[in-house]
Structure 1
């Protein structure tokens, strides 16, 4: 497997927990799970693959620690790296900005020479009305999770997504 880190931004612990579940499903140990507040350019350069995740806050914003994390991404060389995105949100209360953080992270990496893995996720079964995390075909750019309204679907969604990205990480 390519050397991989799972980077998350979490204020309440939900995205941190999801990052841990994703890492476990990929067979990564705890040291591969990094809080974005601790992310450095060296960590990025030392890894071949990055799995980036953020909770969506307010009206479609990145989790606070990601604002400095975005600066680290902007200064890093992502050329040739594999990047996969995940996020969590509340699809009922914030249905028009559900998991927008995925789309915001995508905007930061899309022109950096990396390959996006784990996109094209169908929106079937989700409760949202809109999101900037959707591609031109209306599919999610990464794994969108709703621990508030659909926690019973989290494990199966993670398993399916990990199966999708695993070949890119080999």
Structure 2
């Protein structure tokens, strides 16, 4: 455990390493001094309450299901008090293999964190993605409730998407980059 805590806590669950790799890219992009990285399989999710700024990474599994590490802590997550906290999400999904469930877990996590009192930021345009349905969209369908990544089919777009989203999130968090 570090002696000093970074301003942003990034919490992720990952079975195939893709979400973990995206979390590490986000940490590098924003700057390691800004972010403490936490794998939800290895920590108590209550640690999220210790941060004012939160990032959460979640992949959608199979037919719109939660990744197992998130599923295991879902009840604990629902107990968090995130009043006064600002959170942004990123999700991984497969828009070709599972077009009816693309980024569904992103939507579940968004609803859960809002219910815990978090102010949600980091919404991302849905334009340019090819899928049939998603529970990870805003009510008007124009945006995802977080950064949508597809490492299966659009790996080549991920770096630029992460870069743009990190800049957007730091603005929305009201934090200076590179300080």
Q: Give the TM bin, normalised by the shorter chain.
A: over 0.9
Q: 1:65 is paired with a residue of what secondary structure?
A: helix
Q: How many residues align?
A: 168
Of residues 153, 158, 165 in structure 1, which corresponds to 2:169? 165
1:108 and 2:112 correspond? yes
1:54 and 2:58 correspond? yes
> Where in structure 2 are the equivalents of 1:71-90 lying within 5 Å?
71-90=75-94
* In 1: Cα distance, 2:67 partner to 2:108 partner: 11
Give the TM-score normalised by the residue count of structure 2: 0.88
After superposition, the Cα gap between the structure-2 partners of 1:43 and 1:154, relative to the gap in structure 1 and judged at 3 Å, is: same
Unmatched 5+ stretches in structure 2:
1-5
Greater mean alpha carbon deviation, residues 76-85 or residues 29-38: 29-38
> Where in structure 2 are the equivalents of 1:1-170 lying within 5 Å?
3-29=7-33, 32-119=36-123, 121-138=124-141, 139-169=143-173, 170=175
Give the TM-score normalised by the residue count of structure 1: 0.92
After superposition, the Cα gap between the structure-2 partners of 1:159 and 1:128, relative to the gap in structure 1 and judged at 3 Å, is: same
Distance apart, 1:8 and its partner CA: 0.8
Q: What root-mean-square deviation, in Å, do the aligned CA atoms of Structure 1 and Structure 2 show?
A: 1.7
Task: List structure 1 runs of 4+ shifted beyond 4 angstroms.
Answer: none
